Amino acid sequence: MKRWNSYFAPFILIFSFFVSWQVVAMIIAMPFILPTPLQVIAKVWDLKDILFLVHLPATLMIIVTGLALSIILGVGLAVWMNLSKTAEKAFYPILVSSQTIPIIALAPIFVLWFGYSIWSKVAVTLLITFFPITVSTFDGLRSSSKELKELLLTMGASKRDIFFKLNVPTALPYFYSGLKVAVTLSVIGAAIGEWLGAQSGLGYFSRRMMTQFDGAGVFAPIVLLSAVGISLFLAVVVLEKITLKWRKSE
Amino acid sequence: MSKASLQFENVSFSYENGHEEKEILNTLSFDVQNGEFVSIIGPSGSGKSTIFKLITGLNQPANGEIFINETNYSNRLGKVGYMPQQDLLMPWRTIIENAALPLEIQGMKKREAYDKVRELLVEFGLNGVEHKYPSELSGGMKQRISFLRTVLSGSNVLLLDEPFSSLDAITRLSMQEWLLTQWQKLKLSILFITHDVDEALFLSDRIFVFTESPVRKFVEVNVPLERPREIRDIHTPAVIEVKEQLIEQLRMGSTQ
């Protein structure tokens, strides 16, 4: 009963949101500016072949490559900053200032550097997802218990033991929090990248539809982008549940 | 022929606190014999835990020598078993994984380590919990596992730092009896920190009292009781006399 209740409120809210959208859009009756939700769904169905077989794979490729590089580089940098105070002092300010750069302004430069290849879009995705992963992993590594470290030392533990048996398990929940932020941002990063210069992808397709005043065509790929973001987020939640079994019993 | 499991010879130690130096130990000497149960008792902040940090090798003495089983190791880390005040079980490890930690660090194969843990779990009457997480156990159970982990360090010298201070009175009593049973069975030498006079009297052969700061010499008290003991034994007149003496000394120490 309680479980049903907890889904009931958001369902009602979303349902009434779509109903009002439908009604308002029908009153305005200018589908090139505001299509109705039903028109958007019909459009997704109409364009299913090109959306699912051409543009979705292109965008997924960017997201997966960008995220993978971001995890490798972000975790690597976090570990390095954890091991060396000098590295922390050198990189931390750069890391923070990298987030103050408006990435939309930077994206055209990536297009200049990497052309219309996948790498200009991957660069945007990487830049936008790198920060949450690095910072959360670094904070996680730093937050391990001093008492436990001393206890391990009294057992004769090496630096390596302390890193793998204490620091890594402590940092894991923090890493997942960072990853959850990063996967949702990765969708935005890929879309921005495609907006500014691409020959395929959901962001590119949405923009092309805009030039054709096809309102429903603009929204259709956005629905898919949002679905990708939600699925990635859920995937991380599932992964977290599997690898952090001990948290359930807390 | 009794051998010393643990020996301090003229050990001095000071803490650096900013640019101020606080002397804790000044040429302190004492020993714990093989198979002996010794308690250290003193007001908080008197440096009881400092002695443990010196023995485990987390800190180094400024002067003097520390012998473990008659050997003066240059690196004492990993030479004695240390049980901290909080259980400090890793919440992400199951009980068996937690208990196997010291064996893992010594480089033992996982299967072999788990077999050894299981053996001890049965011996300690703790079987059935090996796949649970620490958060699923009671405070007393967690302390038993923590003690088991300390035993698995493989050393005959165990340092216990107020291990029962966070438990309720009834659990604490049964833990004390349980500890004495394990101590006798495993023939261990135990150095036990406490601030509870009754606990020290019930458990120990000898009691060291902190009465001065910095410490030059412990006041040493022998507990006039045979073994095995029962909790009501600490109410015999001879023990009560010792208890009054102890409290008097502690009071003098704290007013200094």
Q: How far is CA B247 from the centre of its chain?
A: 21
Q: Is residue A57 within 8 Å of A205, Cβ to Cβ?
A: no
C-alpha to C-alpha distance for A187 and A179, rounded to whole angstroms: 13
Among B79, B88, B132, beta carbon nearest to A151? B88
Q: Does A66 fall in a domain?
A: yes
B79 neighbourhood in chain A, CB within 8 Å: 156
B78 neighbourhood in chain A, CB within 8 Å: 154-157
Q: Does A12 fall in a domain?
A: no
B135 neighbourhood in chain A, CB within 8 Å: 246, 249-250
A246 neighbourhood in chain B, CB within 8 Å: 91-94, 133, 135
Q: Does A33 fall in a domain?
A: no
Structural domain spans, chain B: 1-77+156-163+188-256, 81-154
Place of tokens 């859920």: A234
Nearest Cα to Cα of residue A204 among A67, A103, A59, A44? A59
Nearest residue of A to residue B86, measured between CA atoms: A147
Please give the DSSP secondary-structure letter assigned to residue B2.
P
Q: Is residue A216 within 8 Å of A35, Cβ to Cβ?
A: yes
Q: Which domain holds residue A92?
A: 39-244
Among A150, A155, A244, beta carbon nearest to B101? A155
Q: A161 and B105: CB-CB below 8 Å?
A: yes
Q: What total of structural domains would you count in chain A? A: 1
Q: Does A102 fall in a domain?
A: yes
Q: Is residue A122 within 8 Å of A72, Cβ to Cβ?
A: no
C-alpha to C-alpha distance for B162 and B159, rounded to whole angstroms: 10
C-alpha to C-alpha distance for B144 and B63, rounded to whole angstroms: 36
Q: A156 — phi, psi (to 5°)?
A: 90, 25
Nearest Cα to Cα of residue A60 among A228, A230, A236? A228
- Which CATH superfamily hosts domain B1-77+156-163+188-256? P-loop containing nucleotide triphosphate hydrolases (3.40.50.300)
From first to last of the 256 residues of chain B, give the pLDDT tens digit: 468 999 999 999 998 877 788 888 999 999 999 999 999 998 877 788 889 999 999 999 999 999 999 999 999 999 999 999 899 999 999 999 999 999 999 999 999 999 999 999 998 888 889 999 999 999 889 999 999 999 999 999 999 999 998 888 898 999 999 999 999 999 999 999 998 999 999 999 999 998 887 888 888 999 999 888 888 888 899 999 999 999 888 887 766 5
Q: Is residue B27 within 8 Å of B63, Cβ to Cβ?
A: yes
Q: Is B165 helix (H, G, I), strand (E, B) or coil?
A: coil
Nearest residue of B to residue A172, measured between CA atoms: B92
C-alpha to C-alpha distance for A38 and B186, rounded to whole angstroms: 76
What stretch of H or E contains B206?
strand B206-209
Cα distances (angstroms) measured from residue B200 to each of A72, A142, B38, B43 = 54, 38, 8, 14
What ipTM score was computed for the predicted complex, to two decimals? 0.91
CB atoms within 10 A of CB A121: 34
Interface mutation target, options B49, B50, B74, B77, chain A, most CBs of A under 10 Å: B77
Kindly give the pairing relationship between strand B219-222 and strand B63-68. Answer: unpaired
Q: B104 and A165: CB-CB below 8 Å?
A: yes
Note the pLDDT tens digit of each residue in A94-131: 988 888 888 888 888 888 898 888 999 999 999 999 99
Residues 131-150 of chain A whose Cβ lies under 8 A from any Cβ of chain B? 145, 147-148, 150
Which residues make Cβ contacts (< 8 Å) with residue A11, sequence separation at least 6? Answer: none
Q: B161 — phi, psi (to 5°)?
A: -105, 95
Residue A41 carries which side chain, given as an amino acid letter? I
Q: A156 and B82: CB-CB below 8 Å?
A: no
Nearest residue of B to residue A167, measured between CA atoms: B90
C-alpha to C-alpha distance for B62 and B15, rounded to whole angstroms: 10
Interface mutation target, options B58, B105, B151, chain A, most CBs of A under 10 Å: B105
Q: Does A20 fall in a domain?
A: no
Q: Is residue B178 within 8 Å of B143, Cβ to Cβ?
A: no
Which residues make Cβ contacts (< 8 Å) with residue A85, sequence separation at least 6? Answer: none
Note the pLDDT tens digit of each residue in A221-245: 999 999 999 999 999 999 999 999 8
Handedness of CA A207, A210, A212, A215 (dihedral sign): positive
Q: Does A138 fall in a domain?
A: yes
Q: Is residue B197 within 8 Å of B243, Cβ to Cβ?
A: yes
Q: Does A53 fall in a domain?
A: yes
Q: How far is CA A34 from the centre of its chain?
A: 27
Domain harbouring A109, CATH code: 1.10.3720.10
Q: Is residue A223 within 8 Å of A44, Cβ to Cβ?
A: yes
Among B93, B106, B136, beta carbon nearest to A249? B136
Q: Does A17 fall in a domain?
A: no
Strand partners, B14: B23
C-alpha to C-alpha distance for B25 and B218, rounded to whole angstroms: 11
Q: B14 — phi, psi (to 5°)?
A: -130, 150
